[in-house]
Structure 1
């Protein structure tokens, strides 16, 4: 009961950790931008992926980031751009998490993960969450196929919250402000993607390991059988499963104060585990235990396999990546001197029960038992162990050896009888010779 309760508790922990985070099912991140030559005005049949992606963000290329910084932050001889403070939206797992200002892009050199989201998607999913009374402008880019060019522009906050979808909507070009784009053009709004968690990759462990043993656990039962007629070693194996628990020291990971305290993704046993904010995670592990012993002929022994829980304290280094969802990750910085603890089963050992021998004295009983089974089941389907027993018993039935013993006894009896007859005949002859000699002694001596 204790073992079952322990396993159920570990599996509950694993299920809880597995459902701690779920990526937004209708939010997609694209890393390849749409080229100007691919944008056309003909009707395009949406693919299944487009139907599932209600919100699609396409990350900026390095060239686009350079143009963005140059347009927003460089001195182009106009004081208007410097006074402007355009904004962008912040998204976390597809959800609106606030807004950022133009000055932030200039301060970090657009080092964050910036992306474009089509205006109609922003209008459907985020406009209702904004305050209509605010007087802001948002950074966007407009693409016109007929003029074969794409330019950075900005549009008013009121057009977004009021859901302007006619020709009144305009996107004004950033620098000169003499070009205007409407909704009939391809408008994309600038957004910043926030990381969901950190991904620890390329993990390397230090050679030292501190191990502390815990209690022992019953892993399963098995049976070793030796159906042959000679003593020999018999081997077996047992499959067992357990939940390996991982405890990462979060203080040792967040040594750099610049790192936000996000959940962790941890690479272990060719899998990526999700750890919660306390650094706790688990993995369902399947192992196999091997055991064996030398056994008497036609014997079997029951086996209980026992494993010991151990705590392995280790120190490791890794590369920290920022994970944004849907497989998008970006290298952040290296990590050294982090600590963790593995709670796993180690040092498995068999516990053999008292052997139950099937010796020759029980052979007839087993044959009668098999005959009864044959009456019940005419198909004659038996286990490999029973068949092996029957074969061994057939080998032990009287054959040439019995006749050899009988013939040997008869020959020995004949030899003894022959010796007896020879001795008796020889004895009679000696007795007759003695009588003849005695008769000769009674004759008178010659005169």
Structure 2
């Protein structure tokens, strides 16, 4: 199965290449507990060593507390007047910043996460403008007091890498409480989706098929080595590239849906399409065939298939994909249109039966069959064998017999004719002689 715009700082390759996810960026969906934070001896796993940047998503309880703290009226005009900020990350790269009002407007519906302060200081602070006067939302955890609170720290502390004795993270509601770098500080970030994923696809009954040219998929040989006529079956494995063209405008009908590259769930895998909705997938299939065959015979088989364009309509669920296996349901869609260019209508083509074993019942000499077994490498049929054998003396006997019989019959008929003609002449002369003697007078 189954995928492939550079946006801001995102290094995402499309058109023929797979989605390149940041190799050192990881997303966790389970937060650390206070007891885990307090561990002094931690054995890092292979994944921990690889993940230089680790974002941990907020739980539902944390989101509710965040919205309540930032957006609810707690009787403090200071909090309501403040507009703190957060960082936006896409594929582990800094893509922009958002404000407190953005969270309140969408009720924290985006994917919010925590990133450790030292990670933000190392990877993202150099990209920020030191002259800006902003504050960023964070949370501070004090293990000794077993307490976690929302706070905010200054932009200048981040870009100037202020040391821990000068760094302060001021608690949101009670502005006289402070946390330092000796506490566990995590910065609020928003993760942006990399792609939209189409899953749970249901194809509608409507389907339009356009037939194209045929091609050879493979060839094989069927052999019947037995002494009886019977059906013989075989199969051929063949491979082709199935091309997919998704009508992108049929997916992005909702103007509120950001236009991102698409992942399509197809053939039990997830296929990456480019920004035009075009992609492909390697497909391996098997074609079965068979026929009834004479004893001790064989036949060559070629399997051909026809290219077809299948135009389909479908409905699906749209998911937002954030990388490293994290996806989130966004909304349903209907009226999608996709065209599959694939091989269909496979069929076998049998060549003329060939054999190198002619022991079966025949009117022709067995010596010919043995010669075919011993040394002949060509392809012969029984008719060709009778025509191309110059050493077969009996092949012309019947013709000579007929000619000789005709000649003998002709000679016999001719002899009979001559004998009858001679006999007829003798009888004629005898009659003339008897008539001549009738004038002689009778003796006295």
Match of 1:54 in 2: 52
The structure that has the greater radius of gyration is: 2
After TM superposition, the structure 1 = structure 2 runs for residues 42-81 of structure 1, keeping only pairs within 5 Å, are 42-81=40-79
The number of equivalent residue pairs is 356
Output one character per residue of 1:407-426: Cα deviation in whole Å (capped at 9) or x when no partner: xxxxxxxxxxxxxxxxxxxx
Residue from 232, 237, 250 that aligns with 1:252: 250
Match of 2:91 in 1: 93
Residue from 116, 119, 122 that aligns with 1:121: 119
Q: Quick check: 2:192–2:322 contact (8 Å CA) kept in 1?
A: yes
1:359 and 2:358 are equivalent in the alignment: yes
TM-score by length of 1: 0.77
Q: How many angstroms apart in 1 are the aligned matches of 2:128 and 2:15?
A: 34
Deviation for aligned residue 1:23: 1.1
Name the SS of the counterpart of 1:208 in structure 2: strand
Q: How many angstroms apart in 1 are the aligned matches of 2:348 and 2:14?
A: 33
Match of 1:394 in 2: none
Output one character per residue of 1:93-146: Cα deviation in whole Å (capped at 9) or x when no partner: 101001001111111111111000000111111111111111111100000001
5+ residue gaps, structure 2, are 1-12, 360-365, 377-444
Give 1 or 2: higher helix fraction.
1
Q: Quick check: 1:238–1:289 contact (8 Å CA) kept in 2?
A: yes
Deviation for aligned residue 1:363: 4.3
After TM superposition, the structure 1 = structure 2 runs for residues 169-248 of structure 1, keeping only pairs within 5 Å, are 169-248=167-246
Deviation for aligned residue 1:291: 1.3
Deviation for aligned residue 1:369: 5.5
After TM superposition, the structure 1 = structure 2 runs for residues 24-423 of structure 1, keeping only pairs within 5 Å, are 24-40=22-38, 42-357=40-355, 358-360=357-359, 361=366, 362-365=368-371, 368=374
Q: How many angstroms apart in 1 are the aligned matches of 2:180 and 2:152?
A: 11
Deviation for aligned residue 1:244: 1.1
Q: How many angstroms apart in 1 are the aligned matches of 2:234 and 2:76?
A: 83
Q: How many angstroms apart in 2 are the aligned matches of 1:348 and 1:47?
A: 51
Deviation for aligned residue 1:221: 1.1
Q: How many angstroms apart in 2 are the aligned matches of 1:274 and 1:367?
A: 57
Q: How many angstroms apart in 2 are the aligned matches of 1:47 and 1:186?
A: 21
Q: How many angstroms apart in 2 are the aligned matches of 1:367 and 1:355?
A: 17
The 1:335–1:83 alpha-carbon spacing in structure 2 relative to 1, beyond 3 Å, is: same
Q: How many angstroms apart in 1 are the aligned matches of 2:254 and 2:96?
A: 25
5+ residue gaps, structure 1, are 1-14, 371-447
Q: Quick check: 2:208–2:312 contact (8 Å CA) kept in 1?
A: yes
Output one character per residue of 1:50-87: Cα deviation in whole Å (capped at 9) or x when no partner: 11100000001111111111111111111111221111
Q: Quick check: 2:208–2:311 contact (8 Å CA) kept in 1?
A: yes
Output one character per residue of 1:176-218: Cα deviation in whole Å (capped at 9) or x when no partner: 1111111111000000000111111111111121111011111
Match of 2:392 in 1: none
Q: How many angstroms apart in 1 are the aligned matches of 2:16 and 2:191?
A: 23
TM-score by length of 2: 0.77
Q: Quick check: 2:14–2:275 contact (8 Å CA) kept in 1?
A: no
Q: How many angstroms apart in 2 are the aligned matches of 1:16 and 1:27?
A: 20
Pairwise CA RMSD: 1.7
The 1:45–1:68 alpha-carbon spacing in structure 2 relative to 1, beyond 3 Å, is: same
Q: Quick check: 2:14–2:274 contact (8 Å CA) kept in 1?
A: no
Name the SS of the counterpart of 1:356 in structure 2: coil
The 1:106–1:16 alpha-carbon spacing in structure 2 relative to 1, beyond 3 Å, is: closer
Q: How many angstroms apart in 1 are the aligned matches of 2:97 and 2:323?
A: 20
Output one character per residue of 1:196-246: Cα deviation in whole Å (capped at 9) or x when no partner: 111111111111211110111111111111222232222211000111111
Q: How many angstroms apart in 1 are the aligned matches of 2:82 and 2:291?
A: 84
